[in-house]
């Protein structure tokens, strides 16, 4: 009696086309990606002291920075170069050492930083700020 062996069916998958496609995708992604990011330089003003939130229990002075970078200290218009004298005068007469800054969303960051530095130099201990729409003139 003749015994014959059954032939096995080759169920292997040819990996060559798959590897070719992966290499083509890799080359496409490398060519289409951007390795050097565009140069974006921004001059950001810096301040020496970090801000602390104003305590809700304390009475505080209010300074508003309008969209055109004009300042209102307790509702009165004041120039940035006169802010130091104005703050010192208010601190001397009221003994309030906290300041709340309300800034318009389109005001300049440089004005905001200058106000913070001036306030710290004048003896403001508690400093808080938030973005708010400018009040009606």
Domain around 79 = 61-131
Answer yes or no: is 104 within a domain.
Answer: yes
Given a cut of 90, is residue 63 above it in pLDDT? no
**pLDDT for the residue numbered 53:** 47
Give a yes or no: residue 75 inside a domain. yes
Residue 97, domain CATH: 3.30.420.270
Judged against a pLDDT cut of 90, whether residue 76 lies above it is answered with no
- Which tens digit of pLDDT belongs to each residue from 51-62? 444 455 668 888
User: Residue 137: is its pLDDT beyond 50?
Assistant: no
Query: 71 Cβ partners below 8 Å, 6+ apart?
Result: 63, 64, 65, 77, 78, 79, 80, 83, 111, 115
Is 27 within a domain?
A: no
User: Is 98 inside any structural domain?
Assistant: yes
Looking at residue 48, what is its pLDDT?
58
% of the chain residues with pLDDT over 90: 10
User: Is 20 inside a domain boundary?
Assistant: no
For residue 33, give the DSSP letter.
S
Residue 9 lies in a domain: no
Task: Answer whether residue 31 is part of any domain.
Answer: no
Residue 68 has pLDDT above 70, yes or no: yes
| H or E stretch at 111 | helix 109-122
17-26, 58-67, 74-83, 113-122, range with the lowest pLDDT: 58-67
Q: Which two tokens stand for residue 106?
A: 């389109």
Number of domains in the chain: 1
Average pLDDT over residues 104-132: 82
Residue 32 placed within a domain? no
């Amino acid at each position: 009696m003749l015994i014959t062996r059954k032939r096995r069916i080759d169920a292997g998958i040819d990996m060559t086309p798959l590897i070719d496609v992966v290499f083509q995708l890799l080359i496409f992604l490398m060519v289409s990606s951007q390795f050097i990011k565009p140069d974006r330089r921004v001059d950001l003003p810096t301040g020496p002291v970090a801000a602390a939130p104003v305590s809700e229990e304390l009475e505080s002075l209010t300074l508003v920075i309008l969209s055109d970078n004009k300042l209102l200290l307790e509702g009165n218009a004041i120039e940035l170069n006169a802010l130091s004298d104005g703050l010192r005068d208010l601190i001397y007469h009221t003994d309030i050492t906290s300041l709340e800054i309300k800034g318009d969303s389109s005001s300049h960051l440089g004005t905001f930083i200058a106000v913070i530095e001036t306030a710290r130099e004048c003896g403001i201990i508690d400093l808080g700020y938030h973005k708010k729409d400018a009040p009606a003139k």
